[in-house]
Chains A and B, each alone.
Chain A
């Protein structure tokens, strides 16, 4: 009988204790974060979508080579000696037209390995992480400031320049007919013009 009454009392008492706890929780502020309206502050060194500052890019291709998944595609055309390509923020003179700088974020693994080799620190991680798309092709980002037409134009310019040079060379070679081996000379000339 005592056991019975004790059980009854325990039953009522424990229910009341439980109700007290849940009632307290009713007034505790919720831990929920209203995601699209309120965002959790990200850590300082998060790795999310890449961004390329094309003003600083010298088209050295080091990031593309560092990429373990080959998601960066870079195509460059050499600038003419007459072209003014500008100077990067750390004072380097640009020599290449970057006609194509594509990053495929469907492939990107956000390892940040491309960021370290960049000599001008123009490729870096941003804190943007909401960029999902309905089509996979939309994740293919083009960073190049030149349009395809402009790129073609630069390419043609360079080829024209090359052809003119070739013609000059040929003329010079004709004058000095006694000295052979024009092929080797041509290649050295090429590297010289690239260095300018």
Chain B
């Protein structure tokens, strides 16, 4: 993409800016859509209607809310640590945005086709912790600090099962590159890694149940990493007001919002890339059938977005199903269940890979 743009504009600097801004073109509409979806899903799960008055079934509601947030006064309390307080939301968002840089949206567009894509994503998602901790601490508010501490504890703990599951996948596939993993699972859904990968044989059937276990562990731990219910300890409304972003208002608050929903999509996209073929279509391409090759990348973009949004929907579904866990339950789930299971899973997948 970068080469294409630098050829088009004849300047590497302009091309760099444009290709850096491209994920934003995806994130902002996605967040607007996801917030609306969240409100509608939650409403219908509780037999309500949700927003109905702004546009068809309230689809413009989020845009209206966004403009409202822009107009709001940006309040900074007098005793906050102003430098860190002001910079924290942007660091949180930057952490999210960095993940998007390595996501393969389609075979034609990937921010940076890194050979160590998965490793990079695990590394940069740690940046979010710094932002959240910074926000909580600089707010000079006990609830914010509690939220930030919980968030740090939670994200650091849950990164272990995430990393172990990803390690087992890396062992099985032999690559860290996200675009290569996507390419491996080409064309049809039985080639997805959740169904044992593209190679037919004994290995495929042996590894299948362990892939499903791996998927469950990865999904649960990424859910915890993005601080969503049932793991929303950092922003537990009933206990901590709003957690680490209690003191924030206006555009900075919307930055946290953007980061939260962007993160939801990022982890869903990672899950779909690793286990569900990423941008690959499950049923073959229309572009192949019509002999129109230019159509394929757009189809791939569609499938990528569709899979991501489906997993975001499942996250919402879980949010409106499960109550919040306690801090000790959160830690029990991670250290006593997910980590042992993921280690056993890692060993078994390793043995199967050797066979």
B48 adjacent to A22 (CB under 8 Å): no
Residue of B nearest to A18 (CB): B321
Partner of B41, one of A19, A26, A30: A26
Q: Tell yes or no: B45 within 8 A of A by CB.
A: yes
The residue from B49, B318, B341 contacting A34, defined by CB atoms under 8 A apart: B49
Give Cα distance in the complex from A32 to B44, angstroms: 10
Inter-subunit contact A28/B47 (CB<8 Å): yes
Contact yes or no, B318 A19, CB < 8 A: yes
Interface residue tally for chain B (C-beta within 8 Å): 18
Asked if residues A8 and B337 are in contact (CB atoms below 8 Å), the reply is yes
The residue in chain B whose Cβ has the minimal distance to the Cβ of A21 is B321
- Residues on the A chain within 8 Å of B153, using CB: none
- Is residue B202 within 8 Å, beta carbon to beta carbon, of the partner chain? no
Whether B75 sits at the interface, judged by CB under 8 Å, is: no
CB <8 Å contact, A22 and B320? yes
By a beta-carbon cutoff of 8 Å, the part of chain B in contact with chain A is: 41, 43-49, 52, 216, 317-318, 320-322, 333, 337, 341
Q: Which 4 A-B pairs have the closest CB atoms?
A: A32-B49, A18-B321, A22-B321, A30-B49
**A–B complex contacts, Cβ < 8 Å, 23 sampled:** A11-B333, A11-B337, A12-B216, A15-B322, A18-B321, A18-B322, A19-B317, A19-B318, A22-B45, A22-B320, A23-B317, A25-B46, A25-B47, A26-B41, A26-B44, A26-B45, A28-B47, A30-B48, A32-B47, A32-B48, A32-B49, A34-B49, A34-B52
Q: Contacts of B49 on A, CB cut-off 8 Å?
A: 30, 32, 34
- A15 near B48 with CB under 8 A, answer no
- The chain A residues found within 8 Å of chain B, CB to CB, are 7-8, 11-12, 15, 18-19, 21-23, 25-32, 34
Bound form: Cα–Cα A11–B46 in Å:
23
Docked pose: A31 CA to B49 CA in angstroms = 8
By beta carbon, the residue of chain B nearest A7 is B337
Contacts of A23 on B, CB cut-off 8 Å? Answer: 317
How far, in angstroms, from A25 to B44 measured CA to CA in the complex?
Answer: 7
* B45, B317, B318 — most chain A CB neighbours (10 Å): B45
B contact residues around A26 at 8 Å (CB)? 41, 44-45
Least Cβ–Cβ distance between A6 and chain B, in angstroms: 12
CA distance A27 to B45 in the complex (A): 8
Q: Write the nearest CB–CB distance from B191 to chain A, whole angstroms.
A: 26
Return chain A residues, CB-CB under 8 Å to B337.
Answer: 7-8, 11
Closest to A33 in B: B49
In the bound complex, CA of A105 to CA of B41 (Å)? 43
Of all chain B residues, which has the CB nearest A16?
B321
Provide the residues of chain B in CB contact with A34, threshold 8 Å.
Answer: 49, 52
| Complex contact B317–A22 (CB within 8 A) | yes
18 new A-B pairs (CB below 8 Å) besides A7-B337, A11-B337, A30-B48?
A: A8-B341, A15-B321, A18-B321, A18-B322, A19-B318, A21-B321, A22-B45, A22-B320, A23-B317, A25-B45, A26-B45, A28-B47, A29-B47, A30-B44, A30-B49, A31-B48, A32-B48, A34-B49
